[in-house]
């Protein structure tokens, strides 16, 4: 999907974007922006990733969080927008995601970045059930949810007069003009085929739990949309980014493996009682047209 087909033009005057986390999603975004002549700086923790970032036309910077005292980040100077695309790494036992995001938000203020976009996760809805939207109450008794919510709040409260969250943050020194949190569903797309998640697994539980996933192209489209300056009446906004269809885990992952002639997973009868469907109506009403609204259909297309 090229930028012309995506149909979302970057905001006039958007000249430089800093992507914090030049991984799978960050690299795809960088390529999309550089194609429009926008200067992109992308961070990575390893110099081994430099060639991959240079390949898509951006300037790579070695960068590690949390920040060390007195660390210079002059590469942020002149950035119109900062995209926070680092992963929480909860599965690796890391519990300082909220601290890292707060540090990045402070950096954005220090360097005069006008718009901060955080790529959060629909994992923030863990503990909820039924259809959930951006205003669904979060279960903050779950540690993962609390850390994600704290990280989101750090971003949203960096904007003066933000009403996105009730808090006691002193906003007198806030200089960011806009903040956006995109809660991304599970990511699929090029080099991330869903079959790899379930290949050959046996007796998998929760066969009838609906999936909440989104294609990489639609994530890039959502970011381009919020950077276009055409959405959001508030200075701080939260959007879910998720495909329209929510087939069961069994149907989806068995089809994913079958399409590549791989060993499909088997499922047992163990089933959680609470089922969750994340709705992405808000960002679609704001102007996002999904390239891959039906991920079951996407699985059957060539070159997925």
CA distance 25 to 262: 26
Question: According to the model, what pLDDT value does residue 72 have?
Answer: 85
Say yes or no to pLDDT of 166 above 50: no
Quickly list H helices, the chain.
Answer: 3-6, 24-34, 50-55, 97-110, 143-156, 195-198, 216-227, 249-259, 281-285, 295-299
Question: According to the model, what pLDDT value does residue 175 have?
Answer: 54
Residue 196 lies in a domain: no
Say yes or no to pLDDT of 273 above 50: yes
| Closest of 195, 286, 302 to residue 249, by C-alpha | 195
pLDDT in tens, 181-240: 999 999 999 999 999 999 999 999 999 999 999 999 999 999 999 999 888 778 999 999
CA distance 28 to 31: 5
Domain range enclosing 17: 12-187+214-243+277-291
Residue 199 lies in a domain: no
Which residues neighbour 51 within 8 Å (Cβ) at sequence distance 6 or greater?
A: none
Say yes or no to pLDDT of 177 above 90: no
Question: According to the model, what pLDDT value does residue 9 have?
Answer: 65
| Closest of 115, 39, 41, 103 to residue 71, by C-alpha | 103
Residue 271 lies in a domain: no
Residue 28 lies in a domain: yes
CA distance 137 to 129: 11
- The pair of three-digit structure tokens given for residue 35, joined into one six-digit string: 């194609």
- The pair of three-digit structure tokens given for residue 48, joined into one six-digit string: 């081994």
State the pLDDT confidence band at 294, using cuts at 50, 70 and 90: very high
Question: According to the model, what pLDDT value does residue 93 have?
Answer: 87
pLDDT in tens, 93-142: 889 999 999 999 999 999 999 999 999 999 999 999 999 999 999 999 99
The arithmetic mean of pLDDT across residues 17-29, rounded, is 97
What mean pLDDT, rounded, does the chain reach? 90
CA distance 178 to 114: 6
Termini Cα distance of the chain: 12
Question: According to the model, what pLDDT value does residue 242 have?
Answer: 98
Question: According to the model, what pLDDT value does residue 45 have?
Answer: 94
The arithmetic mean of pLDDT across residues 56-78, rounded, is 92
pLDDT in tens, 257-271: 999 999 999 999 999
The arithmetic mean of pLDDT across residues 281-295, rounded, is 97
pTM above 0.85, yes or no: yes
Residue 65 lies in a domain: yes
Residue 296 lies in a domain: no
Tokens 């007796």 belong to which residue?
203
Say yes or no to pLDDT of 292 above 70: yes
We report the CATH number of the domain holding residue 63 as 3.40.50.720
- The pair of three-digit structure tokens given for residue 198, joined into one six-digit string: 């379930």
Say yes or no to pLDDT of 5 above 80: no
Across 66-70, 97-101, 156-160, 231-235, the highest mean pLDDT is recorded for 97-101
Question: According to the model, what pLDDT value does residue 304 have?
Answer: 63
The arithmetic mean of pLDDT across residues 34-56, rounded, is 96
Q: How many residues does the chain have?
A: 304
State the pLDDT confidence band at 176, using cuts at 50, 70 and 90: low
Residue 208 lies in a domain: no
Q: What is the DSSP letter of 17?
A: E
User: Do the Cβ atoms of 260 and 193 come closer than 8 Å?
Assistant: yes
Question: According to the model, what pLDDT value does residue 229 have?
Answer: 83
Structural domains of the chain, count: 1
Residue 82 lies in a domain: yes
Question: According to the model, what pLDDT value does residue 16 have?
Answer: 97
CA distance 183 to 56: 25
Say yes or no to pLDDT of 153 above 90: yes
């Amino acid at each position: 999907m090229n930028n012309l087909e995506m149909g979302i033009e970057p905001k006039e005057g958007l000249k430089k974007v800093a992507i914090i986390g030049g991984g799978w999603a960050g690299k795809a975004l960088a390529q999309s922006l550089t194609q429009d002549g926008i200067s992109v700086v992308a961070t990575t923790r390893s110099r081994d990733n430099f060639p991959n970032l240079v390949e898509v036309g951006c300037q790579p910077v070695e960068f590690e969080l949390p920040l060390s005292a007195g660390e210079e980040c002059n590469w942020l100077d002149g950035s119109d927008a900062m995209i926070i695309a680092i992963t929480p790494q909860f599965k690796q036992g890391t519990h300082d995601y909220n601290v890292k995001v707060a540090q990045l938000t402070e950096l954005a203020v220090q360097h005069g970045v006008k718009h901060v976009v955080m790529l959060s996760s629909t994992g923030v809805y863990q503990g909820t059930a039924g259809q959930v939207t951006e205003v669904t109450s979060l279960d903050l008794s779950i540690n993962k949810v609390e850390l994600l919510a704290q990280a989101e709040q750090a971003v949203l409260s960096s904007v003066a007069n933000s009403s996105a969250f009730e808090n006691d943050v002193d906003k007198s020194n806030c200089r960011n003009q806009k903040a956006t949190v995109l809660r991304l569903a599970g990511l699929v797309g090029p080099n991330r085929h869903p079959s790899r998640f379930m290949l050959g697994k046996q007796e998998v539980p929760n066969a009838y739990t609906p999936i909440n996933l989104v294609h990489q192209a639609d994530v890039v489209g959502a970011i381009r949309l919020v950077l276009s300056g055409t959405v959001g009446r508030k200075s701080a906004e939260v959007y879910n980014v998720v495909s329209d269809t929510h087939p069961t885990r069994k149907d989806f992952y068995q089809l994913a493996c079958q399409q590549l002639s791989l060993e499909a997973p088997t499922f047992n009868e163990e089933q959680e009682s609470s089922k969750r469907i994340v709705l992405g109506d808000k960002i679609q009403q704001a102007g996002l047209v999904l390239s891959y609204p039906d991920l079951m259909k996407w699985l059957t297309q060539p070159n997925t």
